[in-house]
Amino acid sequence: MATPAPESPTAPFGVRLALIALLPLLALALYLDGQYYDPDLVELRPRQSVIGPDSALFPEGLAGLQRAGAVRRFTEDNLYEYINGHAEYFISAGFRGLAVGEYGSVGDGQPALVVNLYDLGEALNAFGVLVDEAGEQEAVDIGAMGFRSGQGLSFIQGRFYVQMSLFDDALTAETFGAALARNLAGQVGEQDLAFHFPDLGVVTTTRFVKEYYRGLEFLNAVLERGFERDGHEIQAFLARGTLQEISALVANFEAFFHEDEMPYRRIDRDGLNFYLVDDPYEGEWFFVPLGERLIGVYTSMEPALTAQIAAFAHGRGSASNP
Amino acid sequence: MKRRDFIKSSAALPAIAAMSASASAQAKADRPSVISYRQVGRTDMRISDISCGAGRLPSASLVLRAIDRGINYFDTAPDYGRSEEYIGEALARMKQRDKVYIASKFCDQVGFEAGVSHLQKGRGKADYKAAVEASLKRLKTDYLDVAFVHAMGELKDYERERARLLDEDMLAAAQELKQEGKVRYLAVSSHGPYNMEQLMMAAVESGHFDLVMMAFNFMKFPHVPDVLKEAQTRGVGVIAMKTLAGARAMDLDAKGAVFEHAAFKWVLGHPEVSGLVVTMKRVRDIDLYLQASGQAMTTADRDILDRYTARFGGDYCRTGCSDCEVACPAGVSIASILRYQMYFDQYEDEKRAMQSYARLDDNASACLDCFVETCVDACPNRLPVSLKLRAAHASLTFADYA
């Protein structure tokens, strides 16, 4: 005998009517809620450049030349108007704003010097752009670091990357570069301490690696530094990020070690959490998260070395300048 | 002994020796490794079918990792950044030089510049020998397995390039380097964009070269099969590059197939091909690429290549064809420009692409006001050449700061 189909329960007519009547009210509530702008949810305004006023960045007089015309300013939205084709590069490098100033001799209609001043948000970004742009050019001692570029030069000072183009053979780029760097140093300070490595020895090399440091796809925008220490060359790297980003970086390392079956262990020493890695291809190395930085060192975890890093982390040790 | 085990057994590799007990004990046998080695023409080399293009090498450790997975052929050059130094560091740590083959190029250690950085006819025998000596120093070795006359066809002028190919000073330098034990084999490479197939055929027929390396992929270069046959007849090895045909990001319905594997299998399905080199810049690349070693094409592989061709075939410039350039009244270096745009877009090598473009005399600025567009009509694949050139100009140009 066939089993009768269960009777589906039916809500009373009054309840069904009330539910239908609620629909317009629900729609109205959703509409009204959508009219409120929650700044924490989405940032609709373009990022503001933190570049200061014209007079602060571009003095009226610069080593005998006078500022000519108004300073032009560019944001992420219109940077392409000035450097079409290269805007994306700067934006991906942390671009916050560009100010362009021109200098010339009084009465001369043509600029003798054009200065492009890029605000890249932080010193590490500025350093990355400088290294990327420098190629094999001759280094100059201007700002924190600089190089000659044709008849001009480029240098970094704090979070700024500065390009100077000269259009008068009689002028010397270094003269104007030094004057501008001094002016900028007065505005943003000589150095960004967060940019520094602990002093692990005599600095032998410094370079910026944009992506895939040592082949690891999660390790990008890294500053690498070589040190001579006790007659040996060691290499170290510095990665920067927010606390969450550094935490994610540590998690990525651990996931990689697990996947690659690479032995590692966490060692608490000097108040810090070191990770010692038994890497069959790199040799023994270690890294340590330090707040918004992560430092890795490709050598054994000697107590003297970790003590130096700890002293640096706790503000008692010295830093190696760029 | 398995290839992946030989490094671990090397007491001369301190880091690996120190870790070998724990690492090898835990190592999985199923990690992707090379499972097929192929003879290179009449040489004594048997190379991994999938080998390492070291153009963007990130570290010595990646070289050691690749060797551990069975890769035994590394293609480097003086102008590949720190590539030679990294390989040298790896060789010094491994101390088993005879287990790997190192190929480098006759060129200066400067940024790429067509017609300059790769030694040209007129540089003389001493310069060719000096280039190799400098490579040996960076590589920390006393011999190269292969020395390449590199990037043949980078200039439009066929006769000039052919003269470089058969330069008596270069050939004399190579002969002396062989006699001195500093170079084992002489080779030539070309990724076009000009006259690639003709130049490779000339190289094979000349009898001077032990192997050739050229662009070859499923998008097909129509005359490459002729070169392959002639090379096989004469005992000249063939190594393929640019095998991924532009390596576009894609969301093809793969049905289980992996595009890279399919592209490799297609190339290696030609028995005349001794192997391929592909850029390895990430640990992940090794894991991904080596899964195709020794594998045969499947129906799913053919399907994904067909889908790729359908999606991107109308947008892919087959370097080596220069029909559009012949038709261009302004003499724009179309093939070079599109190649640089590929470096910019697909290889994410923006800086090199922009620098190379800046050095071109006949760039795409002439295309901005061109309404003739004979290039489009001339293209056998009906690519929107003029549009691509304008887009390339926009991507590859620095604005004049003045």
pLDDT of A156 > 60? The answer is: yes
Provide the pLDDT for residue B402. Answer: 28
Tell me whether A218 touches chain B (CB under 8 Å).
no
Place of tokens 């003086």: B78
CB contact under 8 A, B402 and A84: no
Does the pLDDT value for residue B297 go beyond 70? yes
CA angle, B350 as apex, B344 and B355 as ends, to 5°? 105
Three-class SS state of B389: helix
Task: Indicate the residue of B351, B401, B402 with minimum beta-carbon distance to A132.
Answer: B351
Query: Is a pLDDT exceeding 60 seen at residue B4?
Result: no
Is any Cβ of chain B less than 8 angstroms from the Cβ of A136? yes
What's the confidence (pLDDT) of residue A51?
Answer: 61
Question: Which among A49-58, A237-246, B26-35, B84-93 has the top mean pLDDT?
Answer: B84-93
Reported confidence tier of residue B49, pLDDT bands at 50, 70, 90: very high
Q: What is the mean pLDDT of residues B2-25?
A: 39
Q: A122-126, A249-253, B190-194, B353-357: lowest mean pLDDT where?
A: B353-357
The SS3 call for residue B167 is coil
Q: Which residues of chain A make contact with B20, given a CB cutoff of 8 A?
A: 280
* Beta strand extents in B57-191 (DSSP E only): 73-75, 101-105, 144-149, 183-190
CB A309 within 8 A of CB A198: yes
Query: Confidence band (pLDDT; 50, 70, 90) for B232?
Result: very high
Q: Is the pLDDT of residue B75 over 80?
A: yes
- Proportion of chain A above pLDDT 90, given as a percent: 30
pLDDT of residue B318: 65
Give dist(CA A95, CA A75) in Å, integer.
Answer: 8
Cis peptide before B193 (omega within 30 of 0): yes
Range in A61-75, B65-79, B254-268, B295-309 the model is least confident about: A61-75
Domains of chain A: 61-188 (3.40.1000), 197-320 (3.40.1000)
pLDDT for the residue numbered A199: 86
The average pLDDT across A61-68 equals: 86
- Residue A297: is it exposed, middle or buried by C-beta count within 10 angstroms (0-12/13-18/19+)? buried
Q: Is the pLDDT of residue B21 over 70?
A: no
Contact call for residues B310 and B302 (beta carbons, < 8 A): no
- Average pLDDT (A147-151) is 75
Q: What does the pLDDT read at residue A319? A: 63
Q: Does B368 touch chain A (CB under 8 A)?
A: no
Residues 6+ positions from A101 with CB-CB distance below 8 Å: A54, A57, A58, A67, A71, A114, A115, A117
Each residue's pLDDT tens digit, B360-372 = 878 898 888 888 8
Is the distance from CB of B298 to CB of B278 less than 8 angstroms? no
Burial of B107 (0-12, 13-18, 19+ CB in 10 A): buried
Question: Letter for the amino acid at B141?
Answer: T
Note whether A72 contacts B: Cβ–Cβ < 8 A.
Answer: no
Residue type, A85: G
CB distance A85–B26 less than 8 Å? Answer: no
Average pLDDT estimate for B335-343: 80
Percent of chain B topping pLDDT 90? 51
**Cβ neighbours for A122, distance < 8 A, ≥ 6 positions apart:** A94, A159, A192, A194, A195, A240
pLDDT score of A288: 97
Query: How many CB atoms lie under 10 A from the CB of residue A150?
Result: 9
Q: How far is CA B368 from CA B355, B363, B378, B382, in A?
A: 20, 11, 19, 20
Closest residue, chain B, to A213 (C-alpha): B58
- pLDDT number for residue A167: 80
Sign of the CA dihedral with B383 first, then B389, B391, and B392 last = positive
- Residue B28 · residue B2 · CB < 8 Å: no
DSSP, res B366: G
Question: Per-residue confidence at B208, pLDDT binned at 50, 70, 90?
Answer: very high
CB contact (8 A) between residue B282 and residue A163: no
Within 8 A of A85 by CB-CB distance, chain B residues are 354, 393-399
Q: What pLDDT does residue B251 have? A: 66
Closest CA of chain A from B199, distance in Å: 32
In what helix (H) or strand (E) does residue B93 lie, and over which residues does it extend? helix B83-94
Residue B35: pLDDT over 50:
yes
**What mean pLDDT is reported for chain A?**
81
Most confident of A118-122, A139-143, A193-197: A118-122
Rounded-to-integer distance, Cα B398 and Cα A86, Å: 6
Most confident range, picked from A105-109, A285-289, B8-12 = A285-289
User: What is the model's pLDDT at position B279?
Assistant: 92
- Return the higher-pLDDT residue of A145 and B282: B282
For residues A289-317, average pLDDT: 91
Residue B44: per-residue pLDDT: 97
Q: Please indicate if any CB of chain B lies within 8 Å of the CB of A83.
A: yes
Residue appearing with tokens 């924190």: A144
Give me the mean pLDDT over the A47-66 stretch. 72
Residue B9 has pLDDT above 80, yes or no: no
Q: Cβ separation of A214 and B61 shorter than 8 Å?
A: yes
Supply the pLDDT for residue A247: 97
Average pLDDT of the segment spanning A149-172: 84
d(CA B320, CA B335): 8
pLDDT of residue A34: 63
Per-residue pLDDT, B117: 63
Going by pLDDT thresholds of 50, 70 and 90, the confidence category of residue A322 is: very low
Give dist(CA B305, CA A118) in Å, integer.
Answer: 44
Contact criterion met (CB < 8 Å) for A214 and B59: yes
Q: How many beta-carbon contacts under 8 Å exist across A and B?
A: 100
Q: pLDDT grade, residue B195 (50/70/90)?
A: confident
Q: Is the pLDDT of residue A84 over 90?
A: no
At which residue do the structure tokens 């070693």 appear? B293
Dump strand ranges (E) for A120-209. 139-140, 145-149, 152-157, 160-166, 197-198, 202-209
A86 in contact with B, Cβ within 8 Å: yes
pLDDT for A101 beyond 70: yes
pTM: 0.73
pLDDT of residue A78: 79
Most confident of A40-54, A82-96, B43-57: B43-57
Cβ contact, residue pair B397, A85, below 8 Å: yes
Q: Give A198-243 pLDDT, tens digit per residue.
A: 889 998 887 778 789 999 999 987 888 889 998 999 999 998 888 9
Encode pLDDT of B102-136 as tens digits: 999 998 765 444 555 678 777 889 999 999 999 99
Confidence of residue B83 (pLDDT cuts 50, 70, 90): very high
Cα–Cα distance for residue pair A178/A227, rounded to 1 Å: 28
